[in-house]
Structure 1
Amino acid sequence: MKPTASLAFALMAFATAAQSHQIWIEQAPGQNASVRFGEFAENLREVSPGTLDKLGVPSAALLSSKEERAADGVKTGDGYALPFRAKAGDAIVAQAPHYPLYPFKRGDQQLTGWYFPAARLVTELAPQAPKLVLDVVPAGKAGELQVFFRGKPLPKAKVALVTQSGWAKEKQTDEQGKVAFDMPWQGVYVAEVSHQDETPGERQGQGGPERYHRVDYVSTLTYVKPDGLPAVPAIPAPTKKANH
C-alpha cells in the first residue's frame, strides 16, 4: 500500500521539525546533568508523553582527567537524566542515534535520511580533543571554538551561538574549522552546528537493518560563563498546543 499524499506531507513536516531541534546538556549547580531536546533559543524543552519520546535513549560519557564514564540517559518528564555531573575541568558528551529515519525526495527519487543529534557540555574553555562524529570544542581562547567532523577540522561550517534570552549570532568557520564569538554576558551559551553527510549506509534498527541515503548531523556545545554582564532572563517558554 502506498502512503497517501496527506501522510507523506505529514512525514515530511515531522522530519523538518525534528531537524530544527537539537539536543543540549544542562547542569544546574550541584546537580547531575540532563540531556534536553527542543529549541534552546526558544526556551522549548520537549516533554514526555510527547515529542521527547521520539528521540530515543541517548548515550553519554563523562570525560575527566581520571576516567571516562559511560551511561545511558534515564527519561524524565522533560529530558533524560544522567547519573553524573561535570566538575571543574570535566566535560560531558552525548548522542541520540535512534531517532526514526525520515523520507525526503531528490528529483523523482524517494530517499531516506537519518537525523543524528549530539551534544557536549564543557566547564572551561581550554582546548579539547573531538569525541563526537560532528563535534564543537573550545579552541583555547575566549569565545573561540573549533568544529570537527570525523576528527578533522570542518571549514565553512555555519555555527550559531545563542543565549537563553533568544539572542543569537551566526558565523562561518575558517579553514582550520575555527570561529570566534563575543560572549559579553554571564550565563548559559549554546553553540550549534549542522552538517549533511551524503554517504549512504545502514544502521541497526529495532526491526532489523535500516538503509539511509544521508545523515543530518546536528551538534551543540554548552558553556556556562561565570563572569561578564548580568545574564539576560530567559524568554517565556512557548505554549504547548493541545495536539502536540
Structure 2
Amino acid sequence: MKMTTLWAALATVVAMPATAHEVWIERDASGPARIYLGEPGDVVPAAGDPEFHHLQKPQLVGVEGPAAPLVRRANHIAVAVAGRGDIRVRDDAVFAPWKSGEAWQGAIYYARAGRTEPSHALDLELVPVAAGSDRVTLLFRGQPLPGAKLTVITPDRWQKAFVTDATGRIDLPQQGRGRYIVGATHTEDKPATLGGQAVASVMHVSTLSFVR
C-alpha cells in the first residue's frame, strides 16, 4: 500500500466516531437526570468514558418552562427536571461529520428516560404502547420501523439483540429488577447539514432507559 493511501485510510478511521457509543439518561424517582456518553453495556469509569468530552450541550426536548442549567460532573452531565415524567434529550454535535468512503456522514443522538408516556417527541424514539408497557415501538419521525435491530441491556448487563416485527414493535425481556437500556440505530440516506458540514447520510442513534 502506498503511504498516501495508508495515511488516507488512517485519517478516515480517526475521523469516524466510535459507533458503539451512545447517549443515555439515568434518573432515579424524581431526582436529577444524569446524561451519559459511552458504552452502556460497560461500567462507566469514574473519570468518564474517553469520549465523554464530546458531549457538551445536549438539548432537553419537550420540557415545559425555562431549561434548567446543565451541570458537568466527572462522568456525566446532571440536570434538574421537575416532576416524574419522561425526559428526552437530543444532540447533533457529539461527533463531527466524518468521511465514509467518498461521502460524508454525520450522527444525531437521542435519549429518553422513562416509559410513562405512550407518545414520541424525538425523530428516532422507542415508545411504549401504553404507560409502563414492556411492548415498545421504534418510531422514525412518527412512523414504525419494521425489521430494525435493537439491543437490550438488562440490570445485570446481559445483552441481546432483537428485531422489530412488521409493526415496528418488540416485547422487552423481564430479567429482574433494575435499570434497562434499549438502543437503536437508523441510517437515513438523505442529504443534510450537521455542524456546518454537508453530509450525504445521517446516522440516528437513540436509547430508552427505565427502571423496573
Task: Report TM bin, short chain.
Answer: 0.7 to 0.9
Judged with a 3 Å threshold, the aligned counterparts in structure 2 of structure 1 residues 45 and 148 are, in CA distance, closer, same or farther, namely farther
In the alignment, does 2:171 pair up with 1:180? Answer: yes
Say how many residue pairs are matched: 207
Structure 1, unpaired ranges of 5+ = 226-244
* Structure 1 residue 135, shift from structure 2 partner: 0.5
Aligned-CA RMSD value: 2.6
1:149 aligned to which of 127, 134, 140? 140
Q: Distance in 1 between matches of 2:100 and 2:206?
A: 21
**Which residue of 2 is the match for residue 231 of structure 1?**
none
Are the equivalent residues in 2 in contact too, given 1:33–1:83 (CA < 8 A)? yes
1:16-39 CA distance string (max 9 Å, x none): 52x211011011355300110101
**Which residue of 1 is the match for residue 6 of structure 2?**
5
* Structure 1 residue 83, shift from structure 2 partner: 2.5
Are the equivalent residues in 2 in contact too, given 1:41–1:165 (CA < 8 A)? no
**Which residue of 2 is the match for residue 235 of structure 1?**
none
1:137 aligned to which of 120, 127, 132? 127
**Which residue of 2 is the match for residue 232 of structure 1?**
none
Consecutive aligned runs of 4 or more in structure 1 exceeding 3 Å deviation? 3-8, 44-50, 67-74
Read off the aligned partner of 2:93 and give its amino acid letter: H
1:175-212 CA distance string (max 9 Å, x none): 22111122131000001110000101223x3xxx3111
For normalisation by structure 2, the TM-score amounts to 0.85
Please give the secondary structure, in 1, of the residue aligned with 2:165. Answer: coil
Q: Distance in 1 between matches of 2:12 and 2:165?
A: 36
Are the equivalent residues in 2 in contact too, given 1:95–1:116 (CA < 8 A)? yes
Are the equivalent residues in 1 in contact too, given 2:62–2:121 (CA < 8 A)? no
Read off the aligned partner of 2:10 and give its amino acid letter: F
* Structure 1 residue 11, shift from structure 2 partner: 4.1
Matches within 5 A, 1:92-171: 92-99=87-94, 100-105=96-101, 110-122=102-114, 124=116, 128-140=118-130, 142-171=133-162
Judged with a 3 Å threshold, the aligned counterparts in structure 2 of structure 1 residues 164 and 15 are, in CA distance, closer, same or farther, namely farther
Q: Distance in 2 between matches of 1:76 and 1:171?
A: 33
In the alignment, does 2:199 pair up with 1:212? Answer: yes
Q: Distance in 1 between matches of 2:37 and 2:207?
A: 11
Judged with a 3 Å threshold, the aligned counterparts in structure 2 of structure 1 residues 217 and 98 are, in CA distance, closer, same or farther, namely same
**Which residue of 2 is the match for residue 238 of structure 1?**
none
* Structure 1 residue 72, shift from structure 2 partner: 6.2
Are the equivalent residues in 2 in contact too, given 1:45–1:79 (CA < 8 A)? no
**Which residue of 2 is the match for residue 242 of structure 1?**
none
In the alignment, does 2:31 pair up with 1:31? Answer: yes
Please give the secondary structure, in 2, of the residue aligned with 1:42. Answer: coil
% same residue: 24
Judged with a 3 Å threshold, the aligned counterparts in structure 2 of structure 1 residues 128 and 164 are, in CA distance, closer, same or farther, namely same
Read off the aligned partner of 2:178 and give its amino acid letter: G
Judged with a 3 Å threshold, the aligned counterparts in structure 2 of structure 1 residues 8 and 149 are, in CA distance, closer, same or farther, namely same
**Which residue of 1 is the match for residue 60 of structure 2?**
60
Structure 2, unpaired ranges of 5+ = none
Are the equivalent residues in 2 in contact too, given 1:192–1:218 (CA < 8 A)? yes
**Which residue of 2 is the match for residue 233 of structure 1?**
none
